[in-house]
Amino acid sequence: MSSDAVTFGIAIPDTWTEYDLSGDSLAPMRAELLRETPDKGGRDRINATFRQLRRILDGARRHGAVYAAGTTQMFEDGLLMAGVMVFSLTPPPGENFSAYALAQQFSAAGKQRKKGTTRTFTTEQLPAVGPVGRLVGVEEGALADGVSYKILVMHTVVPVPDERRALIITCFSPNLPLADQLYDVFDAITATFAFGEEEPPAMAG
C-alpha cells in the first residue's frame, strides 16, 4: 500500500478482507450473512452492525484513511465484527505533533460522546519501526438516529521518517466482551506494520 509516496505494508488475518473505502464491498457481505440468519433478532443485529461499519468507513474516508480491512463472521454466540484502518495525517502548522496529541484527535466512532469514552495512552515498540504512541480503550459514538454505541479501539501513531507527518493505525470492534482477545489480535496486526515495498504475509486465523 502507499500514501502520498510513502509505501507501507501491514498483515491481516487470512480470514479478513480488504475493504473498498467507499463501502461498496459491504453490501454483498451483509446479504450473505442475512441469508445465513433466519431469526429476526439476529438479522436486526447484522443490520445494526453494518450501519456502524458503513458509518465508520464513511468517517474514515473523510479523515484521510488510505487503507481498511476487517472481518464480519457469524458464530453460535453472535456476530463478530473487527477492523483495521490506516490514516495519513499532517497537522497544520503550529499544532502539537506529539503522538499523544495526534491519537487524542482520532475516533473510530466518528463524533465522540466524551462521557462514554475511556482511553489509555502508552508507548510501544513496533519491530520494524521502533517506539510509537498508542491509545487504547473504548469510544462512544452516535448513529444518525441518535442511538449511541460503543467500540473497542487501538490507535497507534507511527511517525513517517524525515517528514512532519504520521500514519495512524486504528483497530476497532463493537464486541466489547471480547476485549482481551481482540486487543491481542490488534497488537499482532499492528506489529506487522513496516515501511517499504514488501507486503507482510497474511496472518493465520
**Strand ordering across the sheet containing 194-195:** 2-3, 6-9, 194-195
Residue pair 195/169 in contact (Cβ under 8 Å)? The answer is no
Number of H helices, E strands in the chain: 4, 10
Q: What is the pLDDT of residues 147-193, one digit of tens each?
A: 677 889 999 999 888 887 889 999 999 899 999 999 999 999 999 99
Mean pLDDT of 125-138: 93
pTM equals 0.78
pLDDT of 123 above 80: yes
Q: Report the alpha-carbon distance of residue 175 to residue 186 in Å, rounded.
A: 13
Nearest CA among 185, 184, 132 for reference residue 156: 132
Q: How far is CA 40 from CA 22, 44, 53, 71, 171, in A?
A: 28, 6, 20, 22, 29
Q: What is the pLDDT of residues 75-92, one digit of tens each?
A: 777 778 899 989 888 777
Domains of the chain in start order, with CATH, are 2-195 (3.40.1000.10)
What burial letters (b/e) apply to 119-138, b meaning 16+ CB within 10 Å? Answer: beeeebebeebeebbbbbee
Average pLDDT over the chain, rounded to an integer: 79
Q: What is the pLDDT of residues 20-63, one digit of tens each?
A: 765 566 677 778 777 877 788 777 877 777 777 777 776 666 66
All three cell numbers of 162: 524525515
Residue pair 127/73 in contact (Cβ under 8 Å)? The answer is no
